[in-house]
Amino acid sequence: MTAALGLGTYRCPDVTGAALMAASRGADWVDTAPNYEHGQAETSLAEVLAAHPGLRVSTKVGFVPVNAKDLALRAGVLTAGDADRGHCLAPDYIAWQLDRSKRLLGRVPDVVFLHNPEHGCGKNEISSRLHAAFVALEEACSQQLISAYGVATWRGISSGLFDVPMLLELAAKAGGPNHHLRAVQLPISLVHLAPVAQALNGHGPLADAAAAGLEVFASAPLHGGEIPGMVTPELSELINPGWSAAEVALAVVASTPGVKRVLLSTGSPEHWTQAAEAVGRPPLSPDLLRRVVDVLGT
């Protein structure tokens, strides 16, 4: 395929176990966030990262972990309103959370994503919110708190609130031509097929990211485990009748032009091995991907 398989830790009840399993089976990337595993995900990953120095890690900033809310309030980096909303991208909070993430992980994260910057934000506010956050992230890069940053979004791009060219423009404004924006993360699956269709036609977020040298992380490739039950016999027959529904779904995502990493949340060795085999096969042809889009629509 055109992509590598990485571990996503959203909804993983045992992050340590899942990361150890994935690392022992060749995973080179794990993606997490301070609010995952009830606020314990970064702490849970520390021992795995120490034992596997070649395992790269990305985390996020935005959603406020329940177990860190009072700490942030006492530190004066979180307002009561943002604490109630559970989400904050104010520069002071970003700096505080990045320092905390580095300490909990036990190392500098390879990428830090702004986590759903569209959360509670309208069209008139998003540009200023992103720019202020990028300035804070560029400062963190200069202080070696992080190596690079990106944007992880669920609906910010699909809703038209922002696009990759806008992100690049704001990053250049915040950090100059040598800015540290390196990645975007968005849902790509048989449910979220619009990015696939756009990429096949040479436009959209994946094409824009590829042109700028940004790494694309595909999140929720199985849509929270729902997709295998949605794969029809017709679709399986079209792609490969011998594959499982999960293999079919993962093959489509991993074959999409521009996708560099597919993030799978699982602690099951069986599911991981099956997914690694699916992602490791030769990519599906663009013509076949177009037929999948025609069958399912966007």
Taking the whole predicted model, whether its pTM rises above 0.85 is answered as: yes
151 within domain boundaries: yes
13 within domain boundaries: no
Structure tokens at 62: 């935005």
* 67 contacts 121 by C-beta, under 8 angstroms: no
Is residue 9 over pLDDT 90? Answer: yes
Q: What pLDDT score was predicted for residue 89?
A: 97
Q: Domain range holding 92?
A: 56-187
Separate counts of helices (H) and strands (E) for the chain: 13, 8
Mean pLDDT of the chain: 95
Whole-angstrom distance, CA of residue 135 vs CA of residue 175: 7
Question: Average of pLDDT values for 204-219?
Answer: 98
251 within domain boundaries: no
* 57 contacts 28 by C-beta, under 8 angstroms: no
Whole-angstrom distance, CA of residue 235 vs CA of residue 293: 10
Structure tokens at 228: 């295998």
- Give pLDDT tens digits for 52-73: 999 999 999 999 999 999 999 9
Q: What is the CATH number of the domain that holds 94?
A: 3.20.20.100
Q: What pLDDT score was predicted for residue 1?
A: 55
Question: Average of pLDDT values for 181-204?
Answer: 96
Q: What pLDDT score was predicted for residue 225?
A: 75
109 within domain boundaries: yes
Distances (CA, A) of 205 to 180, 195, 202, 297: 18, 7, 10, 18
202 within domain boundaries: no
* 178 contacts 216 by C-beta, under 8 angstroms: no
- Give pLDDT tens digits for 79-104: 999 999 999 999 999 999 999 999 99
Whole-angstrom distance, CA of residue 41 vs CA of residue 49: 12
Number of folded domains in the chain? 1
104 within domain boundaries: yes
Question: What residues form DSSP beta bridges with 58?
Answer: 31, 111
